[in-house]
Amino acid sequence: MPGGVNSPVRAFGGVGGTPFFTQRAKGSRLWDVDGNEYIDYVCSWGPMILGHAHPKVVRAVQEAARDGTSFGTPNSREIRLAQLVCESFPSIQKVRFVNSGTEATMTAIRLARAFTKRDKIVKFEGCYHGHADSLLVKAGSGTATFDVPDSAGVPADFARNTLTLPLNDFSVLDRVSWKEIACAIIEPIPANMGLIPLKSGFLQKLRDLTQKNGVILIFDEVISGFRVARGGAQELYGIQSDLTTLGKIIGGGLPVGAFGGRADIMDMLAPNGPVYQAGTLSGNPVAMAASIATLEELFHAGTYKKLEQSSSALCDEMKKVVPGQHARVGSLFCTFFTDREVIDQAGAKRSETKRYAKFFHAMLERGVYLAPSQFEVGFMSMAHTEADIEQTLQAAREAVKAL
């Protein structure tokens, strides 16, 4: 395997050293093959909002697998999950399931181009929307970690049709020739260069400009969807997009992505329309069962309130313990090792990655697993307890003192 991994950030390239190999996981904890135990704040990069190996999810997967793992035909679980998604996101009138967030964003952009009959797209610096060619231009996530703003192998013609704007810059939005743009895609809660909340009014201005000029607005809620609220960032901020991409949490730990939105746009998909998209394992019964079990459990009264309380209990104290710039939106959190406010990718890049690497390893030695990169975020789960939080804070006190 190149780099010994199947996804780059797992290689610890952003912090140095050798990654551990996980043997099993339960609740808020991971155990590696050497028997070491860690409190996990990576949560499989976001999906494990209920915690690892949640009994209801495991049971749903087992029951579904007994009937067969893939049919290649429609199945009833697809309908149930579609209902849950559309009920949660009023902007999603129709939805299609795929196998990853990358597939979802790639097809959403294809749909927008077909619908508007325009080629150019707008994205924002540091926002990561998967590894499709058009979107690997000044992207975040692993490309930020490895300081690769543009991936090799992406034709120049793709890049020419991608206009990349700085985050939180109101004036630059007014300088775009919006009549030439097919779509604007953005993480409404940017969380792939660390966590950088958008300035008040920025998202609304983008919504107004796109609506006025017939541009499709795509919210990439692969991370924020079902994490910050049942209706994602759209519920949190009261702003709706034309198309939405989802992933991570809706898979319940299995590979699932989704995209959906206005019916007139979605009806351009085959077999109804001329935009082709397909997937052998899309909507497979096991993944759908895990998704349904996760969402139904997540939708119990008080879940998001408890997540908010746990997240604030951890992060409010971390601010007092760890020097730096702290950010949190719901159960997403991040600490930048810098003294300057971080409002965009350039600010994130100025943070002290070597300092973060030392802190990461000091925490790991004390049994706390944070993201192995300054440019990723932390995730809280329903499985994290008060004891976990106190152990984490004590580890942080010791780590800061040691450093």
| CA–CA separation, 224 and 234 (whole Å) | 9
Chain segment 101-139, per-residue pLDDT in tens: 999 999 999 999 999 999 999 999 989 898 776 676 655
Chain segment 307-355, per-residue pLDDT in tens: 999 999 999 999 999 999 999 999 999 999 999 999 999 999 999 999 9
User: Interior CA angle at 88 toward 240 and 235, to 5°?
Assistant: 40
CB 400 within 8 A of CB 322: yes
Amino acid at 194: G
Is 267 part of any domain? yes
Counted domains in the chain? 1
Which residue carries 């660390």 as its tokens? 194
Q: Residue 390: CB partners within 8 Å, gap ≥ 6?
A: none
When pLDDT is cut at 50, 70 and 90, the band that residue 154 belongs to is confident
Query: Can you give the CATH number for the domain in which 92 is found?
Result: 3.40.640.10
Chain segment 247-286, per-residue pLDDT in tens: 999 999 999 999 999 999 999 999 999 999 999 999 999 9
Is 62 part of any domain? no
Is 55 part of any domain? no
Is 333 part of any domain? no
Helices (H), 166-254: 170-173, 202-212, 232-237
Is 174 part of any domain? yes
Is 310 part of any domain? no
User: Interior CA angle at 41 toward 46 and 317, to 5°?
Assistant: 125
| CA–CA separation, 4 and 19 (whole Å) | 10
Query: What is the domain extent for residue 287?
Result: 72-298
- Percentage, residues of the chain above pLDDT 90: 90
Which residue carries 């199945």 as its tokens? 75
Is 233 part of any domain? yes
User: Which residues are annotated as catalytic?
Assistant: 128, 220, 248
| Helix, strand, coil percentages for the chain (3-state, nearest 5) | 40, 15, 45
CB 221 within 8 A of CB 244: yes
Is 219 part of any domain? yes
Over 336-391, what HEC string results? Answer: ECCCCCCCCHHHHHCCCHHHHHHHHHHHHHCCEECCCCCCCCEECCCCCCHHHHHH
